[in-house]
Amino acid sequence: MITRLSQLFLRTLRDDPADAEVASHKLLVRAGYVRRIAPGVYSWLPLGLRVLREVERVVREEMDAIGAQEILLPALLPREPYETSNRWTEYGAGLFRLKDRKGNDYMLGPTHEELFALTVKGEYNSYKDFPVTLYQVQTKYRDEERPRAGILRGREFVMKDSYSFDLTDEGLAASYQAHRDAYERILQRLGVKYVIVSATSGAMGGSASEEFLAESPIGEDTYVRCIESGYAANVEAVKTLAPAAIPFDGQPEAKVYDTPDTPTIESLVDWANGATGVSNEASKTFTAADTLKNIMVKTRVPGGEWELLGIGIPGDREVDEKRLEAALTPAEYVLITETDFKNNPFLVKGYIGPKALQANGIRYLVDPRVVDGTSWITGADEEGKHVVGLVAGRDFTPDGTIEAAEVRDGDPSPDGAGPLVAARGIEVGHVFQLGRKYTDAFGVDVLGENGKPVRPTMGSYGIGVSRLVAVMAEQQHDDKGLRWPAEVSPANVHLVIANKDDAAREGAEALAAELDRAGLSVILDDRKASPGVKFKDSELLGVPLVVVVGRGFAEGNVELRDRFTGESREVPAGTALAEVLAAVRG
Amino acid sequence: MITRLSQLFLRTLRDDPADAEVASHKLLVRAGYVRRIAPGVYSWLPLGLRVLREVERVVREEMDAIGAQEILLPALLPREPYETSNRWTEYGAGLFRLKDRKGNDYMLGPTHEELFALTVKGEYNSYKDFPVTLYQVQTKYRDEERPRAGILRGREFVMKDSYSFDLTDEGLAASYQAHRDAYERILQRLGVKYVIVSATSGAMGGSASEEFLAESPIGEDTYVRCIESGYAANVEAVKTLAPAAIPFDGQPEAKVYDTPDTPTIESLVDWANGATGVSNEASKTFTAADTLKNIMVKTRVPGGEWELLGIGIPGDREVDEKRLEAALTPAEYVLITETDFKNNPFLVKGYIGPKALQANGIRYLVDPRVVDGTSWITGADEEGKHVVGLVAGRDFTPDGTIEAAEVRDGDPSPDGAGPLVAARGIEVGHVFQLGRKYTDAFGVDVLGENGKPVRPTMGSYGIGVSRLVAVMAEQQHDDKGLRWPAEVSPANVHLVIANKDDAAREGAEALAAELDRAGLSVILDDRKASPGVKFKDSELLGVPLVVVVGRGFAEGNVELRDRFTGESREVPAGTALAEVLAAVRG
């Protein structure tokens, strides 16, 4: 196929779009790949659509290779199945909802667990039919609060979602692994630098879950990894490495002190280490890590009542709201208000301690570092008083632990192999072992081998097709423009006519025709523009191999430029076809 | 590619679905091609999706061949452009509307004239860029009042829509013709029997417009054609062949008669031909065609006031509501009420005549048959009185003509070549010369050759991709099941293993592998089912070439069955590959 720039529906832009902040967004707009229609809603112009379709092709090939079968469900979905699974409500404002002319409720599908479960229920009824994995490549909708960075986080986007149905946990594990491997192959073919992190499963329910994050400083997901062991996890999923318990023996009794003017952890530590404090007595210098701060929230499971919850974490750490949210899900939480303090007078603001909580039957969860035998300075449940030497397991017994404290660079990896390092990434894929949440919800039962009904267990797997276009642009661009991996480039070759002589033009046309006959796709820059403009556009558009028919053509040479390395070399025009074929086909 | 029925996500059904009325719907469901999710909203299962994709491929090939360039616009569209074009309102209840989390209005795109005009405006600014034609293959949405026949008239459906932009009327005519030709090629490749009919352009605006109707007795569109000349038109678009004017000379004067008990046209004709009537005097026998009935409606252009309109048509014809609607569009109309009669006492119910209408300044449009010199029996604007011999052009002068009367079998073709015959069809394509409606609305101007701005003129073209799947099923099925044209069949060959011997099974597997290597796609029925069940499924699924490895395999033969003709023949297994290749590649 030959695509002539003189005819292609394309205008490259010299200036960055005003609303663009990240490089991929700027370049995809400047290079005429996408255009904004509304916040998070984009058009795909010819070259952009080609890259999108190539990514879809790669994804399909890898899905087909693991035996997944493609189907296509509607994007316009009736409310009922999502009511049954409770997600009609759970999705909150993130769901586009609408009514049809008869007033019936519909939604635009963000993900399709419900309908795939129902689809399998509709077709299959025997253990002999399993396992089965179905997938679709589909336009999906999420009413993001903050659509961002062009197609990177859109409200209308293309996603490949697949769903495995197995009769055993071992089967599910195998389906999960097959998808995990397929996603690795997809990302490798697209040249995406990624890391697989343990993830919490959020509103999806289920157990084992990993995210594929494309490494990028502009990513919205923070993850940590341990260089020594390769451990990597979404921050929400990091399990704190708990220290060993400490014997109670010999630990002094807890004592309550007047601690005036200690409204902050810092001032409390200053008091402890000060002249009127307890530092000398304890023969140590206290730090914020020796204090235990107690945060009060109210939580509510869907459909339930609000309940008070106390959370104790070492004073040197902040609560990480995302981790707290993930730890509590599906319950939601809010901080308590003045009214709550009034209604619960045993909560002394600024001086809340474990004792009052436990005495009043308030659930109390602590950071995993608060192991038995650790000694804490904490609130004494009286205005202006703190207790020193309050020992966990001896003086108070929490109801459990909670992963609510922030994770910090240098924290020990959960596998004990070394320190954690934080980085940022863009979620491009997600694999879940869902289990039976949806087959339970819809009563998906099939006849088992023993004649009794058996309920399939599901896996759910998603990869962001349109997002991957942005991710490739983000990871692989340089300051001159886009750079596409050969696998998904909008053309195999970008052939620039940079010589006005008729002979050169004819030579370029002949070469383009030869390349076309050899099955390559060629972008042919046959415009009446200066070589400089054409070179700039070839760099901006990002086809990995640029061939220039320029000044050297008079001496019988054409130039091959590698868009990734920037290297160029002259080759005889007569060998250009062979050289290009060798370069493209590796 | 080999698709094993033992593994394919497919369950064929023995019984017709309860909600299906037409054959294509029944068969597509029974054969496991589609499944209903909600009214007019369907899932595509593996084989159905393959056919859909093949139709898309054919459409793309023909679009690319005429130089159209593919892009992809969103389905989720902001309100503003459709507000500008007035279609946000005009679409009425047929549009899915929704709000995002910020309360902004969005819609699901039913067609994209607005955004394509804006897209071209955004990229192009010089006459040098034109002409350009853009297209997309996209999921579209219309909230049909009566979704029908499965995917035939869905609310979520796949359509190819394209838009041409030219600077001259000649250019538009050429772009229109190119699309018209491409649509003919598409329908021919799909084996669709179709007719091209003149059409009104409905809410789309614009002038020249033709519809591609697939011939089918279950079609919702009635069209007429003239066998002699090949003329064909949507009933809404039929222009009445007006008779020649008649001289006034010698025609008697109009006379008012008492016509008691003549509430109907029939009774009026009886009176005229009766003893107290005027038949003897006029030396003729009157028929209903000699009477002129006047229908009163109120019309309103969008945003305007309701106005009275009188419509005069020969008494032997009924008003065709669709034709009337098409004739008045974009104005809407309603019949007048008792209140209107009260407010306009000159309207004597049952006796309305042209005189009172014209005397009171009411707009009065007549059927094109009411030419100058025709003489009519009509209302005399007094209770119980009619006027006889009221001559058009002499005794009253209408404000114009209107195509509101029904078209009947046997009516003369507008080209005068012979009688019209009515038939039914399914609209599968539509080509419009839109003109500048949308480039005017959005001020799309580009620099002209002479340095002055020039406004492009648009064509709009649509073909129903998912609907075509239903149309092929409808036109080409037989009583045993579906029959797909080779061009879009879900596989090239359906290979049935109908022999339990290991040798036969191995032979079939070897043949499937050979076909696969030769680049053919094979559905291999390797299930443990009886030959009868397998044969029935092969007929239901509708792959045009069925190969059976059955009893004859012991003698070294396999059977080739033609699903369209029903013919079968035995060929030596050793030549099966060559025979199949010959059959598939023609």
Q: Is B78 on the interface with A (CB under 8 A)?
A: yes
Residues in contact with B579: Cβ distance below 8 Å, sequence separation at least 6, in sequence order: B560, B571
Which residues in chain B show pLDDT less than 50? 202-206
How much is the pLDDT for A491?
97
Decide if A2-238+422-474 and A255-401 have a common fold. no
**Neighboring chain A residues of B57 at a CB cutoff of 8 Å:** none
CB B375 within 8 A of CB B292: no
pLDDT band at A248 (very low <50, low <70, confident <90, very high): very high
Closest in B7, B70, B108 to A49, CB measured: B70
- Secondary structure class of A307 (helix, strand, coil): strand
CB A165 within 8 A of CB A120: yes
Residues 82-141 of A with CB under 8 A from B: 93-94, 96-98, 100-101, 106, 108, 115, 119, 122-124, 132, 134, 139, 141
Whether residue B35 and residue A75 make contact (CB cut-off 8 A), yes or no, is no
Residues 151-170 of A with CB under 8 A from B: 155-156
How much is the pLDDT for B318?
94
Contacts A–B by Cβ distance under 8 A: 133
Separation CA B280–CA B274 (nearest Å)? 9
Domain B491-585 has CATH 3.40.50.800: yes
Strand A156-166 and strand A457-464: the pairing is antiparallel
Q: CA of B575, closest CA in chain A: separation in Å?
A: 31
Tokens of residue B261, six digits: 């008990």
Separation CA B246–CA A531 (nearest Å)? 74
Angle subtended by helix axes B502-517 and B576-585, to nearest 10: 40
Strand B522-525 and strand B2-4: the pairing is parallel
- Secondary structure class of A328 (helix, strand, coil): helix
- Per cent of chain A over pLDDT 70 is 99
- Dump the DSSP string for A36-77: EEETTEEEE-HHHHHHHHHHHHHHHHHHHHTT-EE-B--SEE
**8-state DSSP, B171:** H
Whether residue A38 and residue B78 make contact (CB cut-off 8 A), yes or no, is yes
Whether residue A71 and residue B145 make contact (CB cut-off 8 A), yes or no, is no
Please say if the pLDDT value at position A339 is more than 70.
yes
Closest in B37, B77, B101 to A143, CB measured: B101
Whether residue B46 and residue A35 make contact (CB cut-off 8 A), yes or no, is no
Chain B residue whose CA is closest to A158: B74
Q: What is the per-residue pLDDT across A134-162, written as a single tens digit (0 to 9) for each? A: 999 999 999 998 887 888 999 999 999 99
Q: Is A37 on the interface with B (CB under 8 A)?
A: yes
Q: What is the rounded (10 degree) CA torsion for B110, B113, B114, B120? A: 140
Which parts of B111-255 fold into alpha helices (H)? 113-123, 169-189
**Neighboring chain A residues of B94 at a CB cutoff of 8 Å:** 101
What are the residues facing A514 on neighbouring strands? none
Please say if the pLDDT value at position A393 is more than 80.
yes
Residues 230-259 of A with CB under 8 A from B: none
CB B202 within 8 A of CB B89: no
Closest in B8, B37, B134 to A9, CB measured: B134
CB A258 within 8 A of CB A380: no
- Per cent of chain A over pLDDT 90 is 80
CB A442 within 8 A of CB A122: no
**Neighboring chain A residues of B78 at a CB cutoff of 8 Å:** 37-38, 41
Whether residue B108 and residue A78 make contact (CB cut-off 8 A), yes or no, is no
Separation CA B470–CA B483 (nearest Å)? 12
- Secondary structure class of B411 (helix, strand, coil): coil
pLDDT band at A205 (very low <50, low <70, confident <90, very high): very low
pLDDT band at A547 (very low <50, low <70, confident <90, very high): very high
Whether residue B74 and residue A38 make contact (CB cut-off 8 A), yes or no, is yes
Domain extents for chain B?
2-238+422-474, 255-401, 491-585
Give per-residue burial for B202-217: e unless 16+ CB within 10 Å, then b.
Answer: bebbbebbbbbbbbbe
**8-state DSSP, B242:** P
How much is the pLDDT for A70?
98
How much is the pLDDT for B108?
97
**Neighboring chain B residues of A45 at a CB cutoff of 8 Å:** 71, 123
Separation CA A5–CA A32 (nearest Å)? 12
Reference B470, options B164, B174, B216; nearest CA is B216
Q: What is the 3-state secondary structure of B285-330? A: CCCHHHEEEEEEEEEECCCCCCEEEEEEEECCCCECHHHHHHHHCC
What are the residues facing B430 on neighbouring strands? B211, B462
A255-401 belongs to which CATH class? alpha beta
Please say if the pLDDT value at position A549 is more than 80.
yes
CB A158 within 8 A of CB A140: yes
Residues in contact with B170: Cβ distance below 8 Å, sequence separation at least 6, in sequence order: none
- Dump the DSSP string for B385-403: EEEEEEEBTTTB--SEE--
Residue B479 CB neighbours (<10 A): 6
Cα angle A465, A471, A473; round to 5 = 115
Q: Which residue has the higher pLDDT, A169 or B278?
A: A169
**8-state DSSP, A161:** E
Whether residue A76 and residue B38 make contact (CB cut-off 8 A), yes or no, is yes
Q: Is A17 on the interface with B (CB under 8 A)?
A: no
Chain A residue whose CA is closest to B118: A37
Tokens of residue A428, six digits: 């491009």
Phi, psi angles (nearest 5°) of residue A283: 55, 40
Whether residue B73 and residue A7 make contact (CB cut-off 8 A), yes or no, is no
Q: State mean pLDDT over A543-552.
A: 95
Reference B243, options B412, B441, B418; nearest CA is B412
How much is the pLDDT for B491?
97
How much is the pLDDT for B205?
45
How much is the pLDDT for A370?
96
- Secondary structure class of B563 (helix, strand, coil): coil
Whether residue A143 and residue B93 make contact (CB cut-off 8 A), yes or no, is no
Best of A10, A80, A106 to substitute, by most chain B Cβ atoms within 10 angstroms, is: A106
Separation CA B481–CA B28 (nearest Å)? 9
Q: What is the per-residue pLDDT across A177-190, written as a single tens digit (0 to 9) for each? A: 999 999 999 999 99
User: Would you say how long chain B is, in residues?
Assistant: 586
ipTM: 0.85
Domain A2-238+422-474 has CATH 3.30.930.10: yes
Best of B42, B47, B71 to substitute, by most chain A Cβ atoms within 10 angstroms, is: B71
Separation CA B60–CA B71 (nearest Å)? 11
Closest in B11, B73, B119 to A123, CB measured: B11
CB B552 within 8 A of CB B558: yes
Separation CA A122–CA A119 (nearest Å)? 5
pLDDT band at A207 (very low <50, low <70, confident <90, very high): low
**Neighboring chain A residues of B109 at a CB cutoff of 8 Å:** none
Mean pLDDT, chain A, integer:
93
Residues in contact with B128: Cβ distance below 8 Å, sequence separation at least 6, in sequence order: none
Residues in contact with B19: Cβ distance below 8 Å, sequence separation at least 6, in sequence order: B36
Q: CA of B74, closest CA in chain A: separation in Å?
A: 6
Q: Is B383 on the interface with A (CB under 8 A)?
A: no
Q: What is the per-residue pLDDT across B88-128, written as a single tens digit (0 to 9) for each? A: 988 888 999 999 999 999 999 999 999 999 999 999 999 99
**Neighboring chain B residues of A77 at a CB cutoff of 8 Å:** 37-38, 41
Separation CA A258–CA A6 (nearest Å)? 83
Q: State mean pLDDT over A347-355.
A: 92
Give per-residue burial for A61-98: e unless 16+ CB within 10 Å, then b.
Answer: ebbeebebbbbbbbbbbbeebbebbebbebbeeebbbb
Chain A residue whose CA is closest to B134: A9
Please say if the pLDDT value at position A495 is more than 90.
yes
Q: CA of A208, closest CA in chain B: separation in Å?
A: 26
